[in-house]
Amino acid sequence: MKNIPILEPDGPGHRFVVYADACAGEPGGRHEATTAAVNKVVAALNPPPEFICYPGDEIIGLTTDEAKLRAQWEYWFETEMSWLDRTAIPLYHTTGNHTTYDPMSEAVFQDVMSHLPRNGPPGQEGL
């Protein structure tokens, strides 16, 4: 895909992308192609965004199997988002109903997102 020019602000501002609800994380899953297409567009933005905000539902989640949930996160980060250099373009996350739906999924989210700030209301630090 060729570079996609962006609209620059008329004055001070930031270049960022917000996208969510991929419900991905499964090899060959029904949302894998759509996630790849959106990622291709974001990767082609020129200049690139200063940061990306992902307000939830990166993965399909909704499983009671902790190993399966961790595998979804691993696939999402290491395969589907492998194009993104997170040292150059930070990626900020929030929780969603597919990612934090019970105590086990909250613990997994806190673990896989251990790089995020640990703030939050009592009992929900790091969520």
For residue range 18-57, list pLDDT tens digits in order: 999 999 999 999 999 999 999 999 999 988 999 999 999 9
What is the domain extent for residue 102? Answer: 15-112
* CB under 8 A, 24+ apart: contacts of 96-103: 96/20, 96/21, 96/55, 96/56, 96/57, 96/58, 97/56, 97/57, 98/23, 98/56, 98/57, 98/59, 98/60, 98/61, 98/62, 99/56, 99/57, 99/58, 99/59, 99/61, 100/127, 101/61, 101/62, 102/64
pLDDT in tens, 66-106: 999 999 999 999 999 999 999 999 999 999 999 999 999 99
What CATH number did the domain enclosing 86 receive? Answer: 3.60.21.40
Residue 119 forms part of a structural domain: no
Residue 4 forms part of a structural domain: no
Residue 89 forms part of a structural domain: yes
Please tell me the total count of domains within the chain.
1
Residue 83 forms part of a structural domain: yes
Residue 1 forms part of a structural domain: no
Residue 57 forms part of a structural domain: yes
